[in-house]
Amino acid sequence: MQTYLITGGAGFIGSHLCAALLKQGNRVINIDNFDPFYDPLIKHNNIRHLADNQNHILRKIDLRDREKLNEVFQSEPIDMVVHLAGMAGVRPSIENPILYEEVNIKGTMNILECMKTFGIKKLIFASSSSVYGNRPEPADFTEDMALNKMISPYAITKKAGEDFCYLYHKLYDLTVLALRFFTVYGPGQRPDLAIHKFVQLIDNHLPIPLYGDGSSMRDYSYIGDIINGITQAANYLHQHKEVFEVINLSGNRSISLKNLLHIIEETLQQKAIVNQLPMQPGDVEATRASIAKAQRLLHYEPQTTIEEGIRQFVAWYKNNKNNHA
């Protein structure tokens, strides 16, 4: 049995990861501050089914509270940290960049300092495809690309998190995998994200905001594939010491916003009412990942097509309408 400390463990990705690690027979310390960025009740619902599991320890802690973090690290035998927590979203980061710096950069440094102080050597850090920024060239995004095209505070805080992880790897021998997630979706997805928002609005016969002309491209990643990628990353860390790697995790297929909308309409069997709007500041035109490194190091192979993933999400949505914010 391994003991994992998961930050942001009541969120979308975190709650799925907690459930997967517990199912494998591990112990999970779940740190979440239930931030009101979206309705905290959704997060409570995410982990409600874990409440009776004795190997799931929930602690309500803000990443900025170093004293409470220290208490957890001092009192628990932690084998690995999976740092998922942080302020999310490109557009909100433009409105409140100071908050994003405080939580995403200083919060990450607090985690790293706790790991250094208490001798914990293994870390998975959740980064983001947003670090690649806006790239006019058609090539797939590879982990060795120069990152000089970021267009949101959120992206910059994620890159800073990667840089601090590398620094602590070099100075204190931490073994780190920084995983760059590409637009994760699926059952339990946050209500502010496009797929959830589109499904909810179409289902309620309300207009959907469509930013730009619908030609923007995204590499969508199904939650089940991402959880497999994270657990494969954990297995990699158990087998290696003193390494640092940045790895893309995606669904390995980019589609346009208009094609995504078409798939949702087909799945719901209902036409959308579209409110055409200009592209928003901070939104990139396209994301497209190379997952060759993940395939080589982690044996990562996404299994879920966007069509099947949308079907799974819509089924979950219909079964959980009363829990939606």
Mind telling me the catalytic residues? 154
Other Cβ atoms less than 10 A from the Cβ of 205: the count is 10
Q: Quick one: how far is CA 312 from the chain centroid? A: 19
| Chain length of the chain | 325
Q: At what angle do helices 153-172 and 107-118 cross, to 10 degrees?
A: 10
The answer to whether the CB of 28 falls within 8 A of the CB of 9 is yes
Give the separation between CA 183 and CA 220, rounded to whole angstroms. 5
Q: What is the per-residue DSSP string for 52-95? A: T-TTEEEEE--TT-HHHHHHHHHHS--SEEEE--S---HHHHHH
Q: Which helix (H) or strand (E) holds 28?
A: strand 27-32
Q: Quick one: how far is CA 196 from the chain centroid? A: 15
The answer to whether the CB of 217 falls within 8 A of the CB of 194 is no
Cα dihedral 188→193→195→199 (10° resolution): 80
Q: What is the DSSP letter of 214?
A: S
Give the separation between CA 198 and CA 273, rounded to whole angstroms. 10
CA distances from 31 to 67, 86, 189, 275 (A): 14, 11, 19, 39
Q: Which helix (H) or strand (E) holds 6?
A: strand 3-7
% helix / strand / coil in the chain, to the nearest 5? 45, 20, 35
